[in-house]
Amino acid sequence: MSEYQVIARKWRPRKFEDVVGQQHVVRTLRNAISTGRIGHAYLFVGPRGVGKTTLARIFAKALNCLDPHEGEPCCQCESCRAIAEERSLDVIEVDAASRNSIEDMRELTEDVLTAPVGGKYKVYIIDEIHMLSASAWNVLLKTVEEPPAHVKFIFATTEVHKVLPTILSRCQRFDLLPIPTSLIAQRLKLIADTEKVPIDAEAVEAIARAAEGGMRDAQSLLDQMLAFFSGDSGEAITGAQVLSLFGLTDRADLERLLAAMLRNAPGEAVSVIGMLAKKGKNLETLFDDLLAALRGVQLCTLIADPTDLLDEGAEAVARYREFSRLATPEAIQILLEIVAPAGRILHDALNKQVYLETLVLKAMREAHAIRLDAVLKRLMELRTAGELKFLESAKPAESAPPVILQIVQGGTAPATLPAPEKKSPDAPLTEASATTVPAVQKPFSAPSATKEEAAPEVINESPSSSGEDPIPESAAEPETSPVEEPPAPTEPAIVQKREVQTEPLPPSVSELAEEAETEVIMDDDPATDPAIDQAEPSVTKTVTLEPEEIPEDSYAPAEAAAGRKSIANSDPGALRKAENEPYIRQVLDLFGGHVVDIHR
pLDDT tens, residue by residue, 241-293: 888 777 788 888 899 999 999 999 999 999 999 999 988 888 988 998 899 99
Instruction: Evaluate whether the domain defined by 7-175 bears CATH number 3.30.70.260.
Output: no
pLDDT of residue 42 exceeding 90: yes
pLDDT at 360: 93
Give the range among 43-52, 114-123, 369-378, 507-516 with minimum mean pLDDT. Answer: 507-516
Closest among 177, 176, 99 to 139, alpha carbons compared: 99
Q: How far apart are CA 352 and CA 346, in angstroms?
A: 6
Kindly state the average pLDDT of the residues 21-42.
89
Q: Please, which pLDDT band fits residue 393 given cuts at 50, 70 and 90?
A: low
Kindly state the average pLDDT of the residues 1-13.
79
* pTM attached to this predicted model: 0.57
- By the 8 A CB rule, do 75 and 15 touch? yes
pLDDT at 396: 60
Q: How far apart are CA 76 and CA 67, in angstroms?
A: 9
Answer yes or no: same fold for 181-246 and 251-372: no
Q: Which fold has domain 251-372?
A: Zinc Finger, Delta Prime; domain 3 (1.20.272)
SS3 161: helix
Residues 6 or more apart in contact with residue 426 via CB below 8 angstroms? none
- By the 8 A CB rule, do 11 and 184 touch? no
Give the range among 198-212, 310-324, 462-476 with minimum mean pLDDT. Answer: 462-476
- DSSP character for 504? P
pLDDT of residue 232 exceeding 80: no
pLDDT at 560: 44
DSSP 204-251: HHHHHHHHTT-HHHHHHHHHHHHHHH--TT-PPBPHHHHHHHHTPPPH
Q: How far apart are CA 39 and CA 530, in angstroms?
A: 109
Q: Which burial class, exposed, middle or buried, applies to 184 when counting CB atoms under 10 A from its CB (0-12, 13-18, 19+)?
A: buried
pLDDT of residue 434 exceeding 80: no
Residues 6 or more apart in contact with residue 517 via CB below 8 angstroms? 420, 422, 542, 543, 544
DSSP 306-321: GGGTSSS-HHHHHHHH
pLDDT at 498: 42
The phi and psi torsions of 594 (rounded to 5 degrees) equal -140, 155
Residues 6 or more apart in contact with residue 513 via CB below 8 angstroms? 504, 505
- By the 8 A CB rule, do 521 and 409 touch? no
Specify the pairing of strand 403-409 against strand 122-127.
Answer: unpaired
Query: Taking the domains of the chain in order of start, what are their residue ranges?
Result: 7-175, 181-246, 251-372, 399-414+494-600
- DSSP character for 543? E
Q: How far apart are CA 79 and CA 123, in angstroms?
A: 13
Residue 377: CB atoms within 10 A of its CB come to 11
- By the 8 A CB rule, do 80 and 102 touch? no
Q: How far apart are CA 537 and CA 531, in angstroms?
A: 12
Kindly state the average pLDDT of the residues 27-54.
90
pLDDT at 543: 52
Tens of pLDDT, residue by residue over 568-580, are 777 777 777 777 7
pLDDT at 554: 45
Give the amino acid at 242.
Answer: V
Q: How far apart are CA 95 and CA 435, in angstroms?
A: 103
Residue 582: CB atoms within 10 A of its CB come to 6
Q: How far apart are CA 238 and CA 144, in angstroms?
A: 51
Tens of pLDDT, residue by residue over 111-156, are 888 888 888 889 999 998 888 888 888 888 888 888 888 999 999 9
Q: Please, which pLDDT band fits residue 44 given cuts at 50, 70 and 90?
A: very high
Top CATH class of 181-246 equals: mainly alpha
Q: How far apart are CA 194 and CA 143, in angstroms?
A: 46
Q: How far apart are CA 339 and CA 363, in angstroms?
A: 7
Q: Which residue has the higher pLDDT, 81 or 490?
A: 81
pLDDT at 290: 92
- By the 8 A CB rule, do 515 and 574 touch? no
SS3 404: strand
